[in-house]
């Protein structure tokens, strides 16, 4: 369980970078995630707020791994995020497969840590 806490801290920190991109560097967010579509500043800020929420869940869960409801909410946030990105790739075609692969690696690693 201790390894999971460290992993969640790492993911939380990486998500903080995405929050920064959403609010202050839309071009980097577009290039790194949504490379197949146009994005507005509103899209970036919405992505930033959503990512900040999931980042907060990661940090809270990392320090409270025995809190089952928080643990489940954090786990589900990874499932929802992966579902969102999978839909963006398969249905809306706003992501490149390389970007989806990166997201999938993080979702898969967290799944293996939760199991």
Across the range 87-114, mean pLDDT stands at: 77
- Class of residue 104 by CB neighbours under 10 A (exposed 0-12, middle 13-18, buried 19+): middle
Residue bearing the bigger pLDDT, 105 or 84: 84
Q: Is the pLDDT of residue 113 over 70?
A: no
What is the domain range of residue 27?
2-114
The mean pLDDT of the chain is 88
Count of structural domains within the chain: 1
Taking alpha carbons only, the member of 89, 22, 62, 23 closest to residue 81 is 89
- pLDDT band, residue 110 (cuts 50/70/90): low
Give Cα 63 to chain centroid, integer Å: 19
């Amino acid at each position: 369980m201790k390894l999971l806490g460290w992993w969640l801290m790492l993911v939380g920190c990486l998500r903080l970078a995405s929050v920064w991109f959403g609010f202050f560097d839309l071009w980097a967010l577009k290039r790194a995630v949504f490379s197949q579509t146009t994005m507005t500043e509103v899209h970036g800020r919405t992505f930033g707020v959503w990512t900040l929420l999931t980042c907060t869940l990661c940090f809270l869960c990392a320090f409270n791994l025995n809190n089952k409801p928080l643990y489940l909410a954090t786990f589900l946030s990874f499932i929802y995020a992966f579902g969102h990105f999978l839909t963006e790739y398969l249905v809306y075609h706003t992501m490149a497969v390389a970007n989806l692969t990166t997201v999938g690696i993080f979702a898969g690693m967290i799944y293996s840590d939760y199991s």
